[in-house]
A and B are shown apart, each in its own frame.
Chain A
Amino acid sequence: MPTIKLSFRNIKKSIKDYAIYFFTLILGVAIFYVFNSIESQTVLLDVSKSTYEIIDMMTNMLSAASVFVAFILGFLIIYASRFLMKRRNKEFGIYMLLGMSKRKISMVLFFETILIGIISLVVGLGIGVILSQLMSMLVANMFEADMRKYEFIFSMDSCVKTFIYFGIMYVIVMFFNVINVGKCKLIDLIQTSKKSETVKMKNPLLCTIIFIVSSMVLGYAYYMVTGGIDATIKTPEDILKPILLGAISTFFIFWSLSGLILKIVMSMKNVYVKGLNTFTLRQVSSKINTTVFSMTVISLMLFVTICVLSSALSLKNSMTANLNELAPADIQLSISIKDDKWLNQGYSVKQIENSKLGVRKTLEAFDFHLDDYLKDYIEYNSYRMEDLTFGDSLGDSLEYIKNNSTSMIPYNMPEEIMTISDYNKVAKFYGNEEYTLNEDEYIIIADYDSMVSIRNVALKNNQKLTIFGYTLKPKYKECQNGFTEMSSNHINSGIIIVPDEVVRGQNTSFNSIIGNYYTTSLDEQREIQQQIRNLSNNPQASEYSMPSINSRVDISEASIGLGGLVTFLGLYLGIVFLIASVAILALKELTENTDNKERYKMLRKLGVDEKMINQSLFRQIAIFFMFPLLIAIIHSIFGITFCSYIISTFGNKQLLNSIIMTAIFIIVIYGGYFLITYVCSKNIIKER
């Protein structure tokens, strides 16, 4: 059938124009397959049941993210195909002039899309299957599991899913193409190439003013998320303000810079008229001038990519790094001890009475003896005063802090109080620092950075506290580092340590036991935990307060799982965002160069040698690619600072590592696209 033949020939002919499009489609398919096939890769891993649950959650999240990714890729594909279509208007015009019906042209396009679709799906899936083998190693490493044995994995589910999602995208593309052809008027099609370019020089004064104003607005947005974060961001919705300001000012910076840079270089006469500089600069400035909006979008997308990638990676790193420090014991069992006030909340007298038994006695009531399982353990109590809240302990500084901090702080949370001897027991067991106290002093132990900085304000003001009738003054001007409850992160928002006699005769609020098992086998440890949990099924259990369990195995599984989840999600979204933005840049650059072929021909006739032309081309592409990236990087410096403030658990070293990782990703993908664009452009402008 001649229509198919024509489609075939068209693709072959315009393969240079299509190269980036093809490359992007294939990459998109491959990535889509890889991230959706993670589930089948984990089947082979030797991991515990609870890790499986986390993996299950992760694959569900990735699945959900895939819908979002499909939207982005779909948008990209439609954009790219419309872009390529526009370039072929003249070709369609000639078909129509030769008497081909619109229906027939639509058919040609229809077959073209099907062909491109099939080729990209097959090649993309092939690459995806190969890449997913590498991915399984990453997955195994992430979940700290050995692969039982290497097996070639092919995920049918993921394959089918990829086919369906991309199939839908291609159908939409076809739909758009047909509409586009239907709308065409012959006269427009033939005349599109005749439009001559008009150069609009922007008013340099206006440019300067707009540049200065938008820089200042951007600077303010930066200030809002870093230095002035406490004053400006009081509710979660407030974060929209700097984002909006940043986006708008980015647009105007691109708008004004494209005019300004040219003006500045023009004034440096010696540089401007050197070699092909005049030509190069004019080309770049006209390119940026006509693409201010896409430049802004691309720059912002790159910004999101950098933040997502580096934050996700450092979150994962800090989680694993914190584990040994923050979960130094095997198990922690706690019971909250209830008093008569709990009667109103549906607790029985018996239950309240039994809660006072503490962890060890409660377990013994069920014939579970801790000594049989734990090699060593300690017991400690903590207290709570109804009328001493977090806000109270800030005392005179409360008003000042309220005015200068976000409103997300729980000022009404009752403070936790511990004796110095109990705390030292815990600290010794964990290997943390021990303290001494005079009878009129207190210490605050905390490791949650944002709370620490708030508490330090009060401590610096020498805030006196009245606890159970004793008036105490702070021993240190700042919080001391430490914790009592094991967790995967620095989340201890503060424990007040007081001399032993302060709490004498008071009711305790919590009773806890921290211990290490005899056994080192993780499976046996899980077994023991399960036994304790099963005690709750005992019919008598309703008369007791059963202890809650906090163990290293649980924390490590949760943090590894969460780390894996965050990493994969970050990688997935980050890579897709990166590809989407750089593909648009590459397409724009390539089509520009096709349009500018004549100019290079003319330069050659003037005697410009290939080296100079290639150099000019390289510079044009480099500036065009680097401009949005540079702005994105500047944004990211502040964006990442903000992210690390919010999550507040990143160590500096982790952050540096993940920034290096992010940079590698960007260099590989961005650089790859850059090189392909350069090579293709060189081919395009080459004389046949």
Chain B
Amino acid sequence: MSVILKIDKVEKYYGSKSSLTKALDNLSFEIDKGEFVAIMGASGSGKTTLLNCISTIDKVTSGHIFVGGEDITKLRGNDLNKFRREKLGFIFQDFNLLDTLTAYENISLALSIQNKTAKEIENTVNDVATKLGIKEVLNKYPYQMSGGQKQRVASARAIITEPQIVLADEPTGALDSKSSKMLLESFAHLNENFDTTILMVTHDSFCASYASRVIFIKDGKVFNEIIKGNSSRKEFFDKIIDVVTLLGGEEDANY
């Protein structure tokens, strides 16, 4: 399998010389194509900083990040936007659909900013919408849709550009358990049916248990890593809980 994302000795410092904070400390790992990886860690462990660096919203202090073989820490100016436009997909906490736009327009926006033609856009949107089962809501506005539908629209928007990797930052943070479950299932669906590579940042073990691999971060370094393999989700969840406990567990074991 080809490597989609390679984090190579990345360091990120915050603050001034007198009070230096190492948010990321010589961090390295790789993600292959088609993987669904969760990054876990306590608040302040550096997981969101890592995601910001990957999405080029923030810059690394040293080290390299390769996406599809391209060193994105070398990108500047418009190339950054181009990279974000073409190689990345995002799924946000509360879907972040534009409420003045219909579902169709929300999805097509990701393509139209790449200056695709109207015909191309129409075909692609219809294609993805059919696969995700949201064809009938395409002309509705976000306020007219159910939570699940909004999630699927947001997913469609994230994958419509066929990104190298889809990033999700605490996707279930603001959701109740039922909606969380629906979102995570749609992630798994994307991962299995569209072969989408997903990198999800979370502090929630239940959430992480939907991934195929979980990387634990502590104090800006990789602390541990576990792979789901052939185990069931329940078994995987238990394994995760074990590591979390080891980490100094603040996690609840309600599930």
Contacts and interface: CB of A to CB of B under 8 A. Distances in A.
Interface residues of A, number: 28
A195 to B, nearest CB: 11
Nearest to B90: A605
Contacts of B98: 279, 282, 599, 602
Interface string B78-89: 100111111010
B112 A608 contact: no
A509 interface: no
B147 to A, nearest CB: 13
B113 A606 contact: yes
A279 B100 CA distance: 8
B99 interface: yes
Contact of B118 (A273, A279, A605): A273
Nearest to A687: B57
A609 B116 CA distance: 16
Q: Chain B interface secondary structure, helix, strand, loop or mixed?
A: helix
A607 B143 contact: no
A197 B99 contact: yes
| Size class of the contact patch on chain B | 20 to 34
Given A270-B118, A605-B57, A198 B143 contact: yes
Most buried by B among A276, A605, A611, A612: A605
A197 B100 contact: yes
B100 A276 contact: no
Nearest to B83: A607
B112 A197 contact: no
Contacts of A282: 98, 100-101, 105
Contacts of A276: 109, 112-113
Contact of B81 (A269, A275, A608): A608
Interface in A541-563: none
A507 B16 CA distance: 107
Nearest to A269: B118
Interface in B93-123: 96, 98-101, 105, 108-113, 115-118, 121-122
Interface string B133-162: 000000001010000000000000100000
A270 B84 CA distance: 24
Given A278-B108, A607-B82, A199 B100 contact: yes
Contacts, number: 80
A520 interface: no
B202 interface: no
Given A273-B121, A278-B109, A607-B113, A602 B143 contact: no
Contacts of B116: 273
Contacts of A605: 55, 57, 84, 90, 92
A194 to B, nearest CB: 12
A606 B84 contact: yes
Contacts of B88: 607
A608 to B, nearest CB: 5
B105 A197 contact: no
Nearest to A605: B90
A209 to B, nearest CB: 23
Contacts of B57: 605
Most buried by B among A197, A273, A278, A612: A273
A688 to B, nearest CB: 13
Contacts of B90: 605-606
A63 B88 CA distance: 65
Contact of B113 (A272, A275, A286): A275
A604 to B, nearest CB: 8
A611 B81 CA distance: 10
Contacts of A277: 112
Nearest to B98: A599
Given A196-B143, A606-B90, A270 B99 contact: no
A274 interface: yes
A283 interface: yes
A4 to B, nearest CB: 33
B96 A602 contact: yes
Given A278-B109, A279-B101, A279-B109, A199 B78 contact: no
Interface of B: 55, 57, 78, 81-86, 88, 90, 92, 96, 98-101, 105, 108-113, 115-118, 121-122, 141, 143, 157
26 contacts: A197-B143, A198-B141, A199-B99, A199-B141, A270-B117, A273-B108, A273-B121, A274-B115, A275-B112, A275-B113, A275-B115, A276-B113, A278-B112, A282-B100, A282-B101, A602-B92, A605-B84, A605-B90, A606-B85, A606-B157, A607-B81, A607-B83, A607-B84, A607-B85, A608-B113, A609-B82
